[in-house]
């Protein structure tokens, strides 16, 4: 069985970094990926990175940046105020590629989870 996700798209807003008492760091952001259709539909994916990848994303990724993400599909689950179980998918990234920003024709930089 394989749970693998590969995305290339533009970041929807500046990443949010969060530091924990344990010393770990998590960065989250969303990525827009255009479908190759005449209607140019866009799919949005929530991304979560940890450790060194999270630090790199927090420092270099900005709204509009073109990024490549490799990782796995995971799910957050919780109960809402009325006790109904809710589930939301996200991509837990293991490999971040900085492909350049909208106005940047810069090189491809890769950061892999260590």
Q: b/e for 74-107, b at 16 or more Cβ within 10 A?
A: eeeeeeeeeeeeeeeebbbbbebbbbebeeeeee
- Closest CA relative to residue 112, chosen from 65, 66, 68: 68
The predicted model gives 20-29 an average pLDDT of 96
Residue 102 has pLDDT above 60, yes or no: no
Domain that residue 83 falls in: 5-112
CA–CA gap between residue 59 and residue 57 (Å, rounded): 5
Residue 114 has pLDDT above 60, yes or no: no
Residue 31 has pLDDT above 50, yes or no: yes
The predicted-structure confidence for 50-100, as pLDDT tens digits, reads as follows: 999 999 999 999 999 999 999 999 999 999 999 999 999 999 999 999 997
Q: How far is CA 107 from the centre of its chain?
A: 20
Confidence of residue 105 (pLDDT cuts 50, 70, 90): very low
Domain count, the chain: 1
CATH number of residue 80's parent domain? 2.40.50.140
The confidence score (pLDDT) of residue 96 equals 96
β-bridge pairing 42-50 and 85-100: parallel
Q: Cα angle at 95 between 93 and 31, to 5 degrees?
A: 55
Residue 42 has pLDDT above 90, yes or no: yes
């Amino acid at each position: 069985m394989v749970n693998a996700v590969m995305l290339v798209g533009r970041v929807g807003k500046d990443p949010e970094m969060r530091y924990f008492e344990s010393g770990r760091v998590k960065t989250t952001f969303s990525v827009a990926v255009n479908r190759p259709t005449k209607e140019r539909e866009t799919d949005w994916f929530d991304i979560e990175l940890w450790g060194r990848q999270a630090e790199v994303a927090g420092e270099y990724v900005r709204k509009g940046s073109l990024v490549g993400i490799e990782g796995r599909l995971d799910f957050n689950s919780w109960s809402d105020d009325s006790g109904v179980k809710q589930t939301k998918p996200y991509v837990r990234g293991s490999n971040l590629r900085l492909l350049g920003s909208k106005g940047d024709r810069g090189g491809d930089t890769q950061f892999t989870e260590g």
